Amino acid sequence: LAISLGVALSHRLSSPSSESLKKTIIDKCEAFIQNNKSSSANDCQKIWSAFEQAFVGKDPCNVPMEAYDLLIHTVIQDPVCNRMLFWSKTKKIVHDFTEKTDCFLTLEDTLVGFVMNGLTWCGKEESNETFTTGCPGWTDCVNNTVRSFWNRASAAFADAACGDVTAMLNGSIATPFSPTSIFATIEVKRFKAAKMKSLSVVLVTKENEGTTCDDPSLKDLQKEIDPKLKYNCKAVPESKIQDCISQPDTACGACW
Ligand code: N1C
């Protein structure tokens, strides 16, 4: 009796979190479609089902990025050539910038990126439930539910990269092109010279100090991309980007 009571109780305690994750995701999905009419061919219920099958019933440390293939294929998303913005270790300033100006789109401005941004989720072996707490953290294990999602979504975003592509990197850290980042391990490796014209690095610096475009890690980045792609890099003081954020009418391209 004690065992079945425990099971019934834990089921009761965790099912509201499953329900609320489903509601959160479907609500965000519908809100996104409302604001982005080009996404209106998407079915949020179908997206939820494709998402859920990736991790429910699985060890949360053993979900490979391929588990999200069905989700990625279920979402209908047009690439926006010449306006795609990648980033590494600059999440805050990048999103302050993209929120205020209409110049660039990041993965978080696409349907899946917008919906999952800020959420935590996982399943459990031999359980059909969804959890939003007690899930492994980003570095607790390689194939964790959340990290594998960002790996897979980032791979799809980079596969679609076209025209002139921009990447905002952090010039205040020792290695702006960090070899363990998603940008280095997944995105750069999937850039295709046949679809892209150029890669422009915007190196965000603190008032003329820190790293420059001559940084060895940026030389590594340049070596990694197809030589047919044009590469350029510009160090831009953070204050200049802040100015563009506070004057959102600044023309795209006038910020650096
Ligand atoms: O490992 P990173 O950066 O280089 O990953 C950034 C890179 C971007 O270009 C995005 O396209 O990968 C994509 N991406 C996200 O869009 C994203 N949204 C939220 C990667 N990670 C993302 N997150 C969270 O940021 C994620 O949960 C993890 O905690 C960070 C990774 O950021 P990073 O190391 O600065």
Q: Which residue has the higher pLDDT, 190 or 251?
A: 190
By the 10 Å C-beta count (0-12 exposed, 13-18 middle, 19+ buried), 195 is classed as middle
Catalytic residue among 61, 81, 213, 255: 81
- What is the rounded radius of gyration, in angstroms, for the C-alpha atoms of the chain? 20
Quick one: which atom of ligand 1 is closest to the CA of 170? 35
Taking 70 as the threshold, does the pLDDT of residue 1 lie above it?
no
Segment 91-132, tens digit of pLDDT:
999 999 999 998 999 999 999 999 999 999 999 999 999 999
Q: Which of 190, 204, 206 is nearest to 154 (CA)?
A: 190
> What is the Cβ-side half-sphere exposure of residue 26, based on CA atoms within 13 angstroms?
14
CA distance 182 to 91: 13
Taking 80 as the threshold, does the pLDDT of residue 16 lie above it?
no
pLDDT number for residue 253:
85
Between strands 163-170 and 230-237, the pairing is unpaired
Phi, psi angles (nearest 5°) of residue 35: -90, -10
Quick one: which atom of ligand 1 is closest to the CA of 157? 11
Q: Which of 195, 201, 205 is nearest to 183 (CA)?
A: 201
- Mutate which of 154, 170, 201 for ligand 1? The one with the most ligand atoms within 8 Å of its CB, which is 154
Instruction: Describe the crossing of helices 238-246 and 91-100 by its angle, rounded to 10 degrees.
Output: 30
Taking 70 as the threshold, does the pLDDT of residue 186 lie above it?
yes
pLDDT number for residue 215:
97
- Mutate which of 28, 72, 86, 87 for ligand 1? The one with the most ligand atoms within 8 Å of its CB, which is 87
Segment 124-168, tens digit of pLDDT:
999 999 999 999 999 999 999 999 999 999 999 999 999 999 999
Which protein residues touch ligand 1 with a CB less than 6 Å away?
86-89, 91, 107-108, 113, 117, 138, 150, 154, 157, 181-183, 187
Quick one: which atom of ligand 1 is closest to the CA of 138? 29
Residues 6 or more apart in contact with residue 227 via CB below 8 angstroms:
none
Active-site residue, 162 included: yes
Comparing 18-22, 53-57, 74-78, 161-165, which segment has the lowest mean pLDDT?
18-22
First to last CA, the chain: 68
